[in-house]
Structure 1
Amino acid sequence: MLIAPPRFRTRTGHPESMCSSSPVQHRLWQWRARLGAVVGTTGLVLAATAGGLFQMLEAAMLDRYIQHRPLESPDPRLVLITIDNDDIEAAGEWPLSDQRLAVLLEQVRSQQPRVLGLHLYRDVPIPPGSDDLSEVLATTPNLIGMEKYIGQSVPPPPILQQLNQVGLADMVIDPDGVIRRGLVSVRGNDGRIRNSFAAALALMYLQAEQVPIEPQGSGSSRVQLGKTLIESLRQNDGGYAHIDDGGYQVILNYRGTRENFETVSMTQVLAGEIPDDLFRDRIAMIGLVTPTYQDHYNTPYSNRVRDRYTQMSSLLIHANLTSQLISAALDGRNMIRFPSPALEWIWVLSWASAGTVISWYWWQTSQFRNHKSPAWGLLIPYLGGLCLIPPLIGYVAFLNGCWVPVISPLSAALMASFWISIHQIHRLQKLATCDGLTQLANRRYFDLYLERLWFLSLRRQQPISLILCDVDYFKPYNDTYGHRQGDDCLQQIAQALTRSVRNGDVVARYGGEEFAIILPDTSLEDAMTVAQRMNDMVRHLQLGHKTSAVAPYVTLSCGVANLIPQPSNSPHELIETADYALYEAKEKGRNTCVLRQLPGPASSEY
């Protein structure tokens, strides 16, 4: 196993401590790591949210909420008169002639529906029976026709346009091709407000209920409709980011699929096979439900079946929006709202904080602190639970009419947890290679670094120097002053040594009172200069030592070894040579430095 050397400051500066140098600094490091995890992940997630990175994931989560919420009962106010392939085959024609359509409309309006919606494009006459259809259209004041306004337009029946009994059939499609938003109205080029087909039906129905529409202030996007306050969707609401929010849009709070609406076929109506009061005082909507002749769209209910997605007819989508507006106004059924941007930021910040705190707790209380179990294994239960909580909260909020982003806070929590884990792993690695008393590299790090440097220097043919230092007469010092002051002495010497070395040099605690300094790419003369500077720095500490036989203060003895690695050499030879030089320094009276260079028996004293 090879590890990289620690980072250093400038060439003449001091190497960074491999461990925190004090309890205060350790606490500051902990708080800095936690604060960095919270603020950093929150900033990254909010930036990603603003850039739309989570938009489709948030939208997909909304789809899951819609699919898995409790089923609602069919809306008693709507009846759909559907035209499918069987009806077209029975009629023997498509498009329907004006005569057949006039008969169908007459059959329906004879039951006195409150509103009659014709969800068919009818911009040109289709004889026979054009006069009959014109008369029916002109004499049915509660009839709403349809036109395509945005993009490639399709005009409505001219008579209904003159009577202002027209709604827009246009759909709002999300970037992934799913209908999640409903268009309520748009402002036309002439400045006139044009209601969508669904909104036109709903407003006509509510007019009979005397439900007022009250804008909340001049220029406000909020409108009080009966029991509900409706607010227009903005481009960054909910899980969206920079969507086209033109017109007045709302999130479609689907009542359900076709099974959630009462339906009868066109053939049944024409044959008189329906109850006499089926449409009385209700909204009757006539439209196609076959994809052969009418556009169908992906919705939150769409599922992949045989390499194709199940889709919903535009008639059914408009029926859902009509039901949504009426039920909201009369029954107080939820319109889907969104938290404010400030609340979304707090929401993300809270989960980043939760991920940080819980992950930190796991690391501080886990057995991994004692090197008994894998790090990531301890986080699996926590991460599993963490991934479930935001979706559950989001689901409960959705049931209460609020679309709360889920992916962004979940991402913040996981990223913060990952951030803390990286910091903790880095800290544990440093602790495993750090001497707790002196805050220097320990013997393990010394061995690993020397091995790595050896192979690097062997390949580049660069010299390595090694200094072994021993505190003179340290055992008598401990016996005289006590172990506590002895520890303080070693700490001060360690700090002096770190101030003496250069960029790239590694200072390690080699034994009890022994220190080792590895000097990469260092010549014989430079190594001796460093050793002498270290000796001087320790002497200048003036640490009293009355039992020393050398001086009245603490001193060092240093052994210096130097060589250019060869394939026939080994790191052990370098250590042995430095140790032999250190022994010779002690033999010469201590408080001195002795150098040995491999190969060659000659030694020098300084």
Structure 2
Amino acid sequence: MLNQFWHHPNQVWQKYRRSLTTTMSILAVSGVILSLRSIGALMPLELKEWDYLLRLQPKQATSDRITIVEISELDLQQRGEWPWQDQAFAQLIEIIDAADPAVIGIDKYLDIPVGSGRAELIAAQAKAGNVVNATLLSLDRAETVELPPDLAAVSSYGFVNVPKDAGEVVRRALLVADYESFAFTIAQDYLIQHDIKIIFDPDRVEFAIHGPAGKRVIPRLDPNYGGYHKIDANGYQVMLNYRGAPGSFRHVSAVDVLSGRLHPDLFRDRIVLIGITAISVNDFHPTPFSLGEHVMFGVEINAHIIDQILAAALDDRPFIQAAPDYAEAIWILVWTAAGAIAAALIPNTFKKLGVLVVLCLSLVAVVYLAFSQAWWLPFFPAILGLAIAHGLVITAEYTQSQADRQLLVSLFSRHVSSELVELIWQHRDQFLTEGRIVGQEVFVTVLFTDMRNFSTTAEVQPPHEVLWWLNEYLGTIATEVLAHGGMVDKYIGDSVMAVFGVPIPHRHASEWQQDADNAITAAISIGQKLQAMNQVWQAQGRPNIVTGIGVNSGKVIAGSIGSTARMEYSVVGDVVNIAARLENLNKQVDGGEYHILIGAETADLLTPQSFELDFVGDYALKGRCQETPVYRVLGHVEEATKQPEAEI
């Protein structure tokens, strides 16, 4: 094929045009989309996709492993101060510890002593032995908050930094950087109590949960993970699979805890997080569940991170993963190809659009189901590829079809009726190749007309009147040919060549008979119209004209003739030559009232008892050795002669 394309590119293009157009559309569209994706142009859309998918997931049950002791706006108002003194936090720890919790996490910086009770705070944390304090790691900002030595000696700690995307949206969790995060430390402490460990593999640079159910790797983000592009993926980051919107965990009031109004079972064997939910303290962030002004407080974001790790270890809830880059590229290519191929194979425009809708809905369903199984697949790049490739192929086909239509119209519009042009267009694939009509053998009936003594007649009239008169004459002939389903092949001065049975090939004898009938009917109509026109011209002082008509039937070769600069559709063959000789024979032989002479082939085809024929004789036509039987056409058989005589 490559060798053929090198030597005959137009021929190969016409033969494989649809396949080549489809393939080029697939490669071009997928290439552009992958390029846009590689520079991050689609990242905002893909991150919105993540948000939508999270919100579309079925609502999950509230986790009973975590209780949040919140310091709300109402709590601040009831105590009438902020920040609370260390003594208040010491009391909270003592009350919670008495209920035997698994881990106590304080999502509040305690680096600077506040008021009285520092010693009590240290003592309470030491007695509990399971307290994790919050720190701030210096990442993109210079400031840092470290745990003071007095608390570090009696408790654990971890940073509460969270990575943020554009718009400060929190979609990721940073588990480990210079040291472990607040949430990761709490999750580890809880799992150890259940004989489950989180182990770091330095060779694979990965954390894995090892428990009774086996090993579960915590998937780590890289700079181009899923819909992300060149993000800061330092440390060990994972996608944050939120359990749901704000309120997914049990919240209790810190004031209620201090007043002793809560049952100890709310804390027993649980992770208890103490954190701020007061708007005035400003510890909140947008999340995928943030619609409008809805935000999530830092303590609850940490609860989701902890819960995600615990659910993976204890409930077999998988971490959400993205496919490798090459797999995502193949995924996008497949959907782009689906859109292009559907547009190429389906003929009807409305059906094309219907299939496009079905494909889009299928893509939505597949992406949603994959996400429910913890796989984040590219939706927007895929649907863009699908829709754009579909539209591009439709546009290319439409453009090419318009060019083909223009070509066919230019070849045939002057020669056939508008109805036949439309029929030709519907069957264009049968004979249109390389911008020309391919030659094919067809059975036709050819009609020739020629005016007698045109030169002598033209001499006695002014040139402009000759042109008007000739156009009226030729127009009358063409009108009758087209009205009876024929094609005006060409004008040769005052002569006309018409063909019946092209360009749509007729394969059956019944169609050949109809073509012959149509040709003779058209010839008789031409003779009648010219008789009427002679009367008008005679009244105008113009000379009468006599037109000879020759008709013959048989097989010819039909196709485009000429160069690319000037091309026309025509038929060639001996049948054409005989028709021309029969027309010329009218100068020697009486062709009847309408001067119509036909060959035996046409006479044999005509519907019996439809035309009055008279055998003239066998004649040696010019250029032929054998004699040709010739008939004259006298007209249609009168209707009266077709009816049986009445019984007497």
TM-score normalised by length of structure 1: 0.67
State whether structure 2 residue 53 is matched by structure 1 residue 65: yes
Of the candidates 195, 214, 225, which is equivalent to residue 199 of structure 2? 214
Give the equivalent residue in structure 2 for 1:114: 102
The answer to whether structure 1 residue 173 and structure 2 residue 164 are counterparts is yes
Does residue 336 of structure 1 match 2:320? yes
Cα distance change of structure 1 residues 275 and 353 upon mapping to structure 2, 3 Å threshold? same
Percent identity between matched residues is 26
1:422-472: CA deviation from partner (whole Å, max 9, x where unpaired):
111112201221138xxx755489xxxxxxxxxxxxxxxxxxxxxx99699
Corresponding residue SS for 1:79? strand
The reply on whether 1:403 has 2:376 as its aligned counterpart is: yes
Give the secondary structure class of the aligned counterpart of 1:210. coil
- Residue in structure 2 matched with residue 81 of structure 1 by the alignment: 69
Do the aligned partners of 1:80 and 1:284 also contact (CA within 8 Å) in 2?
Answer: yes
Q: Secondary structure at the match of 2:272?
A: strand
User: What is the alpha-carbon distance in structure 2 between the residues aligned to residue 484 and residue 124 of structure 1?
Assistant: 107
Tell me which amino acid in the other structure corresponds to 1:176.
Answer: G
Match of 1:593 in 2: none
Question: What is the 5 A alignment of 1:272-311?
Answer: 272-304=260-292, 309-311=293-295
Name the residue aligned to 2:24.
36
The answer on 1:199 being equivalent to 2:184 is yes
| Match among 337, 354, 366 for residue 353 of structure 1 | 337
For 1:293 and 1:512, locate their aligned partners in 2 and report how far apart those are by CA, in whole Å: 89
Query: Which whole-Å CA distance do the structure 2 matches of 1:543 and 1:21 have between them?
Result: 32
Q: Which residue of 2 aligns with 1:254?
A: 242
One of 116, 126, 138 as aligned partner of 1:128: 116
Match of 1:486 in 2: 557
Q: Secondary structure at the match of 1:396?
A: helix
Alignment-derived partner of residue 419 in structure 2:
none
Aligned to 2:449: none
Q: Is the contact made by 2:69 and 2:275 (CA closer than 8 Å) also made in structure 1?
A: yes
| Structure 2 residue identity aligned to 1:432 | R
Question: CA offsets per residue over residues 34-80 of structure 1, 9 Å max, x none?
Answer: 11111111111111111112211111121112112111111111111
Aligned counterparts, 1:352-431, within 5 A: 352-362=336-346, 364=347, 366=348, 375=349, 379-431=352-404
CA shift for structure 1 position 253: 0.7
The Cα of 1:141 is off from its aligned counterpart by: 2.2
Secondary structure of the residue aligned to 1:281 is coil
- TM-score where L is the length of structure 2: 0.63
1-side partners of 2:85 and 2:249: how far apart? 27
In structure 2, distance between residues paired with 1:337 and 1:245: 15
Quick one: structure 1 residues 21 and 66, their matched pair in 2 at CA, closer, same or farther if it must change by over 3 Å?
Answer: closer
Q: How far 1:401 sits from its partner (Å)?
A: 0.8
SS in 1 for 2:408: coil
Q: Which amino acid aligns with 2:219?
A: E
Bigger shift: 60-69 or 247-256? 60-69
**In structure 1, how many angstroms separate the alpha carbons of the residues matched to 2:119 and 2:318?**
44
Which residue in the other structure is 1:155 paired with? Answer: 146
Task: Provide the C-alpha distance between the structure 1 equivalents of 2:344 and 2:262, rounded to a whole number of angstroms.
Answer: 68
* Distance in 2, Cα, partners of 1:183 & 1:55: 20
Greater relative contact order structure (CA < 8 Å, 6+ sep):
1
**5+ long unaligned stretches in structure 2:** 1-7, 416-489, 502-549, 582-648
Does 2:299 correspond to 1:315?
Answer: yes
Offset at residue 102 of structure 1 (A): 1.1
Q: Deviations over 1:324-351 (max 9, x none)?
A: 0011011111211111112111111110
Segment of structure 1 superposing worse, 236-245 or 410-419:
236-245
- Unpaired runs of 5+ residues, structure 1, are 1-16, 189-193, 367-374, 446-467, 502-506, 515-541, 551-606
Residue 408 of structure 1 deviates from its aligned partner by 0.6
Two-structure CA RMSD over aligned residues (Å) = 3.3
User: What letter corresponds to residue 29 of structure 1 in structure 2?
Assistant: R
Question: For 1:484 and 1:289, how far apart are their aligned partners in 2?
Answer: 94
Structure holding more strand per residue? 2
The answer to whether the 8 A contact 1:474-1:513 is kept is: no
Contact 1:56/1:176 (CA < 8 Å) preserved in 2?
Answer: no
Matched residue, 1:265: 253
- Contact 1:52/1:240 (8 A) holds in 2: yes
**Could you tell me how far 1:508 is from its partner in structure 2?**
5.0
Does residue 1:49 correspond to 2:20, yes or no?
no
Counterpart of 2:85 in structure 1 is 97
- The structure with more radius of gyration: 2
Give the CA deviation at 1:223: 2.4
How many aligned residue pairs are there?
A: 446
> What is the CA-CA distance between 1:404 and the residue it aligns to?
0.9
Deviation sequence 1:487-519 (CA, Å, 0-9, x none): 1xx53x32xx22xx5xxxxx353x7579xxxxx
CA distance in 2, matches of 1:270, 1:21: 87
Give the direction of change, closer, same or farther, for the CA distance of 1:470–1:164 in structure 2 (3 Å limit). farther
Match for 2:25: what amino acid? A
